[in-house]
């Protein structure tokens, strides 16, 4: 019997939610790691019982937890994220150079093939990899060492590497995204990187052709078509059909093209989900209505999905890592809010129910499809 396991990270602990393939009834385990900020949890595609979790507080810094039994038990693994060589500096808010300083792990991306290999996207922006199940971490410093690195400047949320997409057809090709530097791609397994920001337009930047400095909030892809990428940028929803070499705006009729998460339907590579947010200065849903927008045409034409979502007096936000899809048929879509709700749709977004209403602020949601 198939099922779904949701790994939900919140500001005060983690929750594991499970359901059978109907996705009607959910059991909720947690909070795990109570009181800690759980930025992200993710399972290995090669072994669904192997989970990794990023755990941190301002008091005690970073811890990484690993489970080998689907989240029933956990053990702390390595938490030393040392930048390679002399760390150097990047641009600070006031235009001066600032030393690279590790703050936390934003995103963990297990290898598609090896449960012991996992990537970590961290703040200040860098990509680390472990090949021993999280016990030790080594920086792929070619990214931070790109000649543009000293010009990267943090956004309001920090200089965070939040998106890691491994190409299933060619695992040597990895796309990452950094706020507020932009998107980057390696084609040689992480040795060398190139910015992939052509076509992005950021009105905060006077130079429209600028190579870096774009505030990418999230990138998503359907594994069956890894050259097609969808991006929720600070403003604008974008798509690329050449693995990021060029981007086109596909915001179309969205009520606002500001937002954080973006996801692609598991079986329909032209079906995309975003959650429009009023603006970068307000961070609330337009008109107090929580609406997921779906495009079945790869962008430009969007429809509001509202059935089961609050359509008045709703002022929550949905953070960049807090939406995901399962792999069942029909496809499931899930997202968590800063108000502590986790919503689920078992019909591709046509209707929604709240699995839970009153969690701490949700930082991340990952869906595992279990066979």
Partner 1 sequence: MPQHLRTLAGVDGEVTLDVNGSPTQRTVLDALEASYPTLRGTIRDHGTAKRRDFIRFFACGRDITLESPDDPLPEEVASGAEVFRIVGAMAGG
Residues that bind partner 1 (CB under 8 A): 35-36, 57-63, 76, 79-80, 82
Q: Could you tell me which of 193, 15, 216 has the C-alpha nearest to residue 184? A: 193
Is the Cβ of residue 79 or residue 246 nearer to partner 1 in the bound state? 79
Half-sphere CA count of 296, side-chain side, radius 13 A: 6
Specify the residue, 35 or 288, whose C-beta has the smaller distance to partner 1: 35
Closer residue to partner 1 in complex, CB, 80/329:
80
Please identify which residue in the block is written with the tokens 């030790």. 136
Query: Which is nearer to partner 1, 243 or 362 (by Cβ)?
Result: 362
Closest distance of CB 82 from partner 1, Å: 6
For partner 1, which is the closer residue by CB, 65 or 364? 65
Instruction: Compute the least distance from the CB of residue 128 to partner 1, in Å.
Output: 13
> Burial of 147 by CB count in 10 Å (0-12 exposed, 13-18 middle, 19+ buried)?
exposed
Q: How far is the CB of 370 from partner 1 (least distance, A)?
A: 28
For residue 99, how many C-alpha atoms fall within 13 Å in the half-sphere facing its CB?
A: 7
Q: How far is the CB of 30 from partner 1 (least distance, A)?
A: 15
- In the bound complex, what is the minimum distance in angstroms from residue 70's beta carbon to partner 1? 21
Compute the distance between CA of residue 256 and CA of residue 276 in angstroms, rounded to an integer. 5
State the Cα–Cα distance between residues 262 and 205, nearest whole angstrom.
Answer: 23
Question: In the 8-state DSSP scheme, what is residue 83?
Answer: P
How far is the C-alpha of 78 from the C-alpha of 223, rounded, in Å? Answer: 30
Q: Which two three-digit tokens encode residue 249? A: 């705006």
Closest separation in Å from C-beta 237 to partner 1: 33
How many other CB atoms sit within 10 Å of the CB of residue 192? 14
Are residues 113 and 119 in contact, defined by beta-carbon separation less than 8 angstroms?
A: no
C-alpha closest to that of 229 among 190, 269, 187, 198? 269
Cβ closer to partner 1: 67 or 369? 67
Q: How many alpha carbons lie under 13 Å from residue 109 in its C-beta half-sphere?
A: 24
Q: Are 326 and 273 within 8 A, CB to CB?
A: no
Closest CB to partner 1 among residues 79, 151: 79
> Least CB distance from residue 121 to partner 1, whole Å?
18
**324: nearest Cα among 266, 240, 285:** 266
Nearer to partner 1, 124 or 278 (CB): 124
Instruction: Tell me the closest approach of the beta carbon of residue 76 to partner 1, in angstroms.
Output: 4
């Amino acid at each position: 019997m198939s099922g779904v396991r949701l790994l939900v990270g919140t500001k005060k602990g983690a929750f594991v939610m499970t359901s059978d393939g109907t996705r009607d009834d959910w059991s909720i385990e947690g909070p795990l790691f109570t009181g800690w900020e759980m930025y992200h949890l993710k399972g290995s595609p090669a072994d669904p019982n192997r989970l990794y979790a990023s755990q941190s507080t301002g008091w005690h810094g970073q811890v990484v937890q690993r489970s080998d039994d689907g989240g029933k038990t956990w053990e702390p693994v390595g938490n030393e994220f040392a930048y390679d060589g002399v760390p150097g500096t990047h641009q600070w808010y006031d235009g001066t150079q600032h030393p690279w300083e590790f703050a936390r792990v934003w995103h963990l991306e297990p290898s598609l093939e090896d449960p012991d290999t996992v990537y970590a996207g961290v703040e200040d922006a860098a990509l680390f990899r472990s090949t021993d199940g999280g016990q030790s971490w080594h920086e792929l410093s070619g990214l931070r060492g790109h000649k543009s690195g000293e010009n990267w400047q943090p956004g309001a949320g920090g200089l965070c590497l939040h998106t890691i997409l491994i190409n299933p057809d060619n695992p040597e090709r990895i796309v990452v995204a950094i706020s507020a530097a932009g998107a980057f791609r390696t084609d040689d397994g992480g040795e060398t990187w190139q910015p992939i920001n052509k076509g992005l337009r950021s009105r905060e930047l006077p130079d429209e052709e600028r190579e870096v400095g774009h505030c990418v909030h999230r990138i998503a892809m359907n594994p069956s078509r890894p050259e097609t990428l969808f991006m929720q940028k600070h403003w604008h929803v974008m798509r690329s059909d050449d693995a990021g070499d060029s981007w086109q705006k596909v915001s179309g009729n969205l009520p606002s093209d500001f937002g954080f998460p973006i996801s692609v339907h598991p079986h329909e590579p032209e079906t995309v989900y975003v959650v429009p947010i009023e603006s970068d200065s307000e961070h609330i849903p337009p008109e107090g209505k929580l609406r997921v927008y779906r495009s079945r045409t790869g962008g430009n034409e969007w429809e509001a999905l509202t059935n089961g979502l609050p359509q008045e007096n709703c002022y929550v936000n949905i953070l960049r890592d807090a939406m995901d899809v399962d792999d069942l048929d029909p496809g499931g879509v899930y997202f968590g809010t800063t108000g502590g709700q986790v919503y689920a749709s078992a019909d591709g977004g046509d209707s929604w129910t709240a699995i839970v209403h009153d969690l701490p602020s949700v930082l991340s949601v990952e869906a595992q499809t279990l066979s």
